[in-house]
Structure 1
């Protein structure tokens, strides 16, 4: 497997995200050909920062044309290529076979994302869910840029407090995390929100700090 990062413009990263990306890249370099292919895919996503899992999820859903949440090998490989990840057909096939041990010819998107998404503690999942619920005014599992703008706050950010960035500039950088993969509808789903913050969570060791960051950002 080639461990080059995704071929798309880099997202604006926090220091923690940059450290996560560097750490994940180093871990990839030490993995052998027989190591867990799912762990490799996770690290490849994280080597791009918090948006890696988000982009992977969107590309998988994009190829699920009939909405049954299952993909065959060809569509799975197309999805991986859509992300821009530099992964060989052989290694992508190993990931596919991991989720299709009985050789049925399809894998389930939900199952794959559940395994690739970095594990979060129950307390972290709860605060992320509560933030999304506050944004989801219609309770339909979707939030818009307007919803985000009405709630999301960067006023506790060190870059804002220090004057390095103004509020609008920082908000646009935040939106870039969700827009950089050419999302056309301006909609963020619950899954995408969770995928993004699973990446952010992986860059933060302390549960209390993660909880405080989320509560400050979404005014819980």
Structure 2
């Protein structure tokens, strides 16, 4: 479901070039994530989950700095502090995890957001704003999955693995919210230059 490897490679090269002349701290962090490919922002989320020792879904400056370092994003202390202040909107010394990932998401056109919404609504059969295994039955056919065909996985395991690819890395609960679905496709979107191509890809993938 992710962007093709060719798109990913092109995006990585483009992000590396842009990084050379970028001095906006948020944009620099976003570009550094994109040099890891379309799942870079999701990967940073996974690293921060490990950092969030008290599991309160927020990070203090120390956790934030360690998270960046562990993910391999080395910034000087001044740049890290400036970045942290930008995300710490209420000045209470912590940043909200989900808000941070939303801000970091690459910007998307209205046309792209609309087609992502269409796909989400198609998958969310019950219309309750969350995609679950029950929603997937009848929309996604697990029988073509190689691990189902060779008897390694049950139907439910195929569904669960499918959901996990969209689910927030630090909170895999078998439910995918619109926010998580958007975060996933924001990474894919960053690897695809034109709206037309992105929309065609989404329509084909989800038979919209």
Partner of 1:217: 205
8 Å Cα contact 1:12-1:177 kept in structure 2: no
1:40 matched to 2:28? The reply is yes
| 1:22-75 C-alpha deviation (Å, 9 max, x unpaired) | 1102222344xxx111001100111111111222334446627235xx432123
Unmatched 5+ residue regions in structure 2?
Answer: 147-157
Partner of 1:158: none
Moved more, 129-138 or 97-106: 97-106
Say what the alpha-carbon RMSD is for the aligned residues: 3.6
Tell me the TM-score normalized by structure 2: 0.69
Residue 184 (structure 1) shift: 5.8
Residue 202 (structure 1) shift: 1.8
Q: Distance in 2 between matches of 1:36 and 1:186?
A: 36
Q: Distance in 1 between matches of 2:122 and 2:174?
A: 18
Residue number among 180, 187, 202 corresponding to 2:190 in the alignment: 202
| 1:130-180 C-alpha deviation (Å, 9 max, x unpaired) | 212222344454435786686469xxxxxxxxxxxxx747xx9x969659x
Q: Distance in 2 between matches of 1:12 and 1:127?
A: 15
Tell me the TM-score normalized by structure 1: 0.66
What pairs with 1:148-187 in structure 2 (closer than 5 Å)? 151=139, 168=145, 187=175
Give the total of aligned pairs.
187
